Structure 1
Amino acid sequence: MAKGKLRRRLRRFDESLADQPVHALTDRVQIPSDPVSPGRRITTRVVYALAALFAAVIIVYLDRHGYRDVESSPNPNDPLSFLDCLYYATVSLSTTGYGDITPVTPSARLINVLVITPLRVAFLIVLIGTTVETLTTQSRQVYQIQRWRNKVRNHIVIVGYGTKGRTAAAAMVGDEVAPSEIVVIDDDAAALERAKSAGLVTVRGSATSFEVLRLASAQHAKAIIVATNTDESAVLVTLTARELAPKAKIIAAVREAENQHLLEQSGADSTVVTSETAGRLLGIAVQTPSVVEMMEDLLTPDAGFAISEREVSPKEVGGSPRHNTDIVLGVVRDGKLVRVDDPEVDALELGDRLLYIRSADAER
């Protein structure tokens, strides 16, 4: 009964955001793209214009017997030369028209093609460049959003791009997760701009809404990281995300340990108590600061040592994880983490996964 009321409250919108036309979502969803310099954009436009020009020249040349040059001498019925075709295509595409002043000599027509036409093209670029850029940018965004929504699967959604969310994204990118596979949900424009600058896909809105989560394709995500600023919003986001994505792995951060059970009851697979973890490290640093330094090293995947996970190889089956060539910290068996000194995992089995310490520098 309570779950049904929650569902009706969360779906209070008159129209689903995820069901809206793609062009209506360009202010909410941002797909990062490679920056292009203005000089390259202008060069591309000029190349397109020249391609259209020479296509017209070929068309006219192939049908040159159907054209007549009234200024030809002595016989106006002679077929056009290639230069005549080039001239005709040039004045046609540049919308010059046929007025009272018409170049009639080959030299004048050659100057018209080589000098006047580039000036006309430059003028047109300056005159309509802004409008063309606006239309092409919007069209490109619509195409990118549509393509992304059709293909995105098994990605990672980060709810909240504050200190916790930003650090989580950096850790995953350092652990060789492609930025394009990370989607950030936040309602703060500055945070979304930072995420976009890092190459991440962004969705503007509150993740307590079903529709915003659907817009980020959370129902197809393999993992959802809840890094909100308050425990109350973390619980509501976790509850909403679990109902929308029952198979996704949800990792949630909570400030106070007393709220940890609420996140677990809401559907979080893993929880991190940020205040107690930070306080514990501060206390340890008083007596043994080197331990904190080592912990920081282990939590940085792209340098020094790092904690990683891998599957047991056939050669390791039956052996003890304590005698492994890698420094093994624990064994994951049937989805449950078991300490390496537990007699239950004294003999490794096929399908086990090892938590071990790897050297990021050695792998590079």
Structure 2
Amino acid sequence: MTPTRRFAQAVSLVALMTLFGAAGYILIEHMSVLDAFYMSVITISTVGFGEVKPLSPAGRLFTIGLIVTGVSSAIYLFSVIGELVIEGSLKEFLGKSAMNRKIHNLQEHVIVCGFGRFGRAVVEELTRNTVPMVVIEADPARQAELEATATLHVVGSALEDSVLEDAGIGSARAIIVATGSDADNVYITLSAREKNPKILIYARGDLDAGLRRLKLAGADQVVAAYQWAGMRIAASILSPSVVDFLQLSVPGRESEVDLEEIKISPESPAAGKTIAAVERDNPRLRIVALKRNDKTLELIPAADTQIELDDLLVVIGESDSLKHLASR
């Protein structure tokens, strides 16, 4: 058992003995709640401030028993605290507690399972765009790197339900399953879908069988990292200008040309207008796709298409113009 686990156990034991002692003084000596807790605390802590009132024979016997059991509990607590301080674990324990509170308060965040090369690239991109996230990493050796970048994280295996719950799976909006094992990724996908049916699941796979099973397990999008890298290299040979354009328009890169997704809210000036009207009001932008409700993504929507509330627009254009439209 880890020192931090023993500390929690020791605190619980002392609290339980304090409550037991107070209850005993209330029942045996008919003390008030305050006096009973006072007697219980000074007995367990052995400070010897004196009794609230003379005790009956039954009360004295009860006090003897409380001293034997309660003082042992207090000594155990002090020894665990000493161990935490000596081993330098107290700071780590308090840091973990603070981080756990931050994770508990997150809503609509992203969980990244695996901090290998693939997962690290995802984390860097999400960090650049200030997306709230939690990283789950099974290798304790990578904890120092996560702490250095102030990334919220849980050290443990995402195969365990408790670890997913510690990462806030119930309130997350998306999970990226990026471990190095296709079998583990399939299992994590199943677990995530069970714990949060509405969560978006993006999974990495290497083998064709793994990619197929990830889709069957409920992944919304499956990525074959090596396959995409190979296709990108081949495309750069066949159509270098197209690849250069795609690199230029990667969302969030602060380049001259950007590509963004914009959701139409009731306050948006684009609501009720046509595609042509929005592009006329923003000459440096072009709407290249529209997604409405659960329908499939419509590429190059017709100019007379009327924009409705909750529509998702994929817009390409000058970065400053995109930021201006998104802010409105």
What's the TM-score bracket when you normalise by the shorter of the two chains? 0.5 to 0.7
TM-score, normalization by structure 1: 0.57
Rounded to whole Å, the distance in 2 between the matches of 1:255 and 1:281 is 16
Going from structure 1 to structure 2, the CA distance change for 1:170 and 1:342 (only over 3 Å counts) comes to same
Quick check: 1:157–1:224 contact (8 Å CA) kept in 2? yes
- Pick from 261, 271, 283 the counterpart of residue 212 of structure 2: 261
- Output the CA distance in 2 between the equivalents of 1:183 and 1:355: 27
| 2:102 pairs with one of 131, 148, 153 | 148
User: How far apart are the structure 2 equivalents of 1:334 and 1:277?
Assistant: 29
CA distance in structure 2 between the aligned counterparts of 1:299 and 1:341, rounded to whole angstroms: 19
1:70-89 → structure 2 map (5 Å cutoff): none
User: 1:173 — aligned with what?
Assistant: 127
- Structure 1 residues 208, 138: closer, same or farther in 2, change over 3 A? closer
Match of 2:13 in 1: none
Number of aligned residues: 239
Q: Deviations over 1:311-354 (max 9, x none)?
A: 23344524136972322221111034423335598332232110
Q: Secondary structure at the match of 2:258?
A: strand
**Aligned with 1:334 (options 282, 293, 296):** 293
- Note the C-alpha offset of 1:162: 1.2
SS of residue in 2 equivalent to 1:268 = coil
Larger relative contact order (C-alpha < 8 A, sep ≥ 6)? 1
Q: 229-238 vs 338-347, which deviates more? A: 338-347
Matching of residue 311 in structure 1 with residue 263 in structure 2:
yes
TM-score (norm 2): 0.62
From 185, 188, 191, the equivalent of 2:136 is: 185
Please state if 1:194 is matched with 2:148.
Answer: no
Aligned to 2:275, which of 320, 338, 343?
Answer: 320
Alignment RMSD: 3.4
State the match for 2:310 in structure 1: 351
Q: How far is the alpha carbon of 1:211 from its aligned partner?
A: 1.6
**1:207 touches 1:213 (CA, 8 Å); kept in 2?**
yes
* Aligned-residue offset at 1:175: 1.9
C-alpha contact (below 8 Å) 2:290/2:301 kept by paired residues: no
Matched residue of 1:331: which SS? strand
* Structure ID, larger Rg: 1
- The alpha-carbon distance between structure 1 residues 345 and 260, as it changes in their structure 2 partners (threshold 3 A), is farther
TM-fit CA distance, 1:176: 2.8
Relative distance call for 1:21 and 1:295 in structure 2 (3 A) is farther
Report the AA paired with residue 238 of structure 1. Answer: T
Paired-residue identity, %? 25
2:239 is the counterpart of 1:288: yes
Are the aligned partners of 2:154 and 2:167 in contact in 1 as well (CA < 8 Å)?
Answer: yes
> Structure 1: where are the runs of 5+ without partners?
1-19, 25-127
1:153–1:351 CA distance, 2 compared to 1 (3 A): closer
